[in-house]
Amino acid sequence: KQLLQGLVSSFKLLFPAYLGSIIFGISGGVYLGLNRKVRTILMPYVHLLSPLPPTLFVPYAIAVLPSFQSASIFLIFIGALQGVLIIEKHYLDNSKMLGLKGKDFLLKVVLPAASPHILSGAGTALIMSFLILTMAEMFGAESGMGYFIQYYTDFAQYNYVIAGTIFNCVIILTALVLFERLKKRILFWTNLKADSDRKTAK
C-alpha cells in the first residue's frame, strides 16, 4: 500500500512537470530553429555537435539547472532545436513555394522531419526526470518512491529498501518500454525507410 501511495505521489509531480517540459521544450526549439538569424548563427555548431547523443548533456543539465523540470525542458529543447536546424533549407523553401504555411507547414514538414531528434531528447529527459525526482524525494520530501527507500534505510529495514528499489526499477522500466513503443509508432516511417534501404542494398 505504501509503495502504491508513493507511486501516486511521485507521478503527481512527474507527469505535470514532464508534460510542461515537452510543451515548452518543443515550442521553444521549433521557434528558434525556424528563425533565420538563429539558423545562420547556430548551423556550424549544430553540424559539429549533431553526432553527439542527448545523453551527453545530462550531467551538465543536472549540474547547472535547479530542478528536474528545467533540466528536462533543456534536453527536449536541445533535441527540438537540433532537429529543426538540420532540416535542409531547400525542403523548407520548397514547402513555402507549395503554399504550406502556418499549421500545415509546422505539422506536415517541420515536426515530422525533426521528430527523431525531439523524441530522442524526450526519452533522455524522461530517464533523467525519474532519477532526479527519486533523489530529490530521498532528501526533501515526505512521500514518494524515493522517500520510501530513504525512510526505511534510516531505520535499517533493508527488506523494505530492497522491495522499494525493485518496485522503482519495475516502474521506470515499464515507463521506458511504453515510451519506446510510442516512439516507434510515431516514427513508423523511419522503420519503413530502413526496410526499404536494406532491400535496395540487397
- Give per-residue pLDDT as tens, 5-56: 988 988 888 888 888 889 888 898 888 888 888 777 877 777 676 667 666 7
Which three three-digit cell numbers place residue 56?
Answer: 551527453
User: Sign of the C-alpha dihedral, residues 190, 186, 27, 80?
Assistant: negative
Position with higher pLDDT, 90 vs 16: 16
Q: What is the pLDDT of residues 106-121, one digit of tens each?
A: 888 888 888 888 888 8
Q: For residues 79 and 123, is the Cβ–Cβ distance under 8 A?
A: no
What is the enclosing helix (H) or strand (E) of 55?
Answer: none
